[in-house]
């Protein structure tokens, strides 16, 4: 997949479809932010509740990601759910980077980071977690409780061993 200098090119990253979906699915199940505050500028009604101008409200994104009407078996890690046309996930239902006019302008950067790390990790190394079933803590973003120590095993150079 990677051209001869070993560096991942932009076009190659675009072709990492399944890995891209795995990153999307990870951010659905473990979004880094839980939400944010908003100042209500006019009286509104939402979901049967009256919300008054001047209130400070907290919008939270995780419940949207767990809506079974949108995400079949929402508790399952299932990257293929993002396979279809983008319209299959309606607006404002998948919101790890927010939505609307305040949507995160940096949302493409974490995706590139994740694709790069996954690519280099799985093509160059095998690894063994040193703490099986290490729990996640929220501090306040999801983080492995002990920092995810792993033992890395470099892959053998395939060209020289073929």
Q: Is 97 in the site for ligand HEM (CB under 6 A)?
A: yes
- Determine the Cα–Cα distance for residues 18 and 129; give it in Å rounded to an integer: 23
- Determine the Cα–Cα distance for residues 11 and 5; give it in Å rounded to an integer: 15
The answer to whether 43 and 53 are in contact (CB under 8 A) is yes
Q: Is the peptide bond before 140 cis (omega within 30 degrees of 0)?
A: yes
Q: Binding string, 36-75, against ligand HEM, x = CB under 6 A? A: x---------------------------------------
The answer to whether 143 and 136 are in contact (CB under 8 A) is yes
CB of 71 to ligand HEM, least distance (A): 18
Q: Is 82 in the site for ligand HEM (CB under 6 A)?
A: no
Q: Is 94 in the site for ligand HEM (CB under 6 A)?
A: no
Count of chain residues binding ligand HEM (CB under 6 A): 12
Judged by CB, which is closer to ligand HEM: 58, or 156? 58
Where does this chain touch ligand HEM (CB under 6 A) — which range of 2-10, 45-53, 85-93, 101-109? 101-109
- Token pair for residue 154? 């470099």
- Which residue sits closest to ligand HEM, CB atoms considered? 106
Tell me how crowded residue 144 is: count the other CB atoms within 10 A of its CB: 14
- Determine the Cα–Cα distance for residues 1 and 153; give it in Å rounded to an integer: 21
Q: Is 109 in the site for ligand HEM (CB under 6 A)?
A: yes
Residues near ligand HEM (CB under 6 A): 32-33, 36, 96-98, 102, 104-106, 109-110
């Amino acid at each position: 997949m990677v051209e001869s200098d070993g560096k991942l090119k932009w076009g190659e990253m675009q072709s990492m479809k399944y890995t891209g979906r795995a990153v999307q699915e990870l951010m659905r199940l473990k979004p880094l932010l839980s939400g944010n505050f908003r100042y209500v500028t006019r009286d509104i009604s939402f979901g049967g509740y009256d919300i008054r101008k001047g209130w400070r409200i907290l919008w939270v994104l995780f419940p949207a990601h767990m809506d079974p009407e949108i995400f079949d078996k929402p508790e399952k890690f299932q990257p293929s759910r993002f396979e279809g046309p983008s319209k299959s996930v309606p607006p404002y239902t998948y919101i790890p980077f927010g939505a609307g006019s305040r949507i995160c302008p940096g949302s493409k950067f974490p995706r590139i980071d994740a694709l790069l790390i996954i690519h280099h990790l799985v093509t160059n190394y095998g690894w063994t977690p040193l703490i099986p079933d290490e729990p996640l803590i929220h501090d306040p973003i999801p983080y492995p409780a002990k920092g995810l120590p792993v033992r890395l095993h470099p892959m053998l150079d395939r060209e020289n061993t073929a």
